[in-house]
Structure 1
């Protein structure tokens, strides 16, 4: 139940973000960056953290 409430709170945090319409990139981008920073996800989203890719499997044919 607490997890569901946390998800709902985060959804309310994005209500003020304008929908991206192709002309408002600066405002849209800034608002999303602030939300990601508030949630502790900015480093993950911009690639500074958690940047490990799975190793490719090599298959012998």
Structure 2
């Protein structure tokens, strides 16, 4: 069952970045919000981030 969503993020960006996001979302048949989630989750996995936002295996 999908997680319920309670948080909102609002960002300002350039038209070029927004168009890249729109193009990526269309290619994946996703909404802009869904594409943002995928990109963030991919980044987190690639950089070892946990749900708390801390890198795995690294202390402060």
Please state which band the TM-score falls in when normalised by the shorter chain: 0.3 to 0.5
Q: Which TM-score applies when normalising by structure 2?
A: 0.34
* TM-score between the two structures when normalised by the length of structure 1: 0.33
Higher relative contact order (CA 8 A, sep 6+): 1
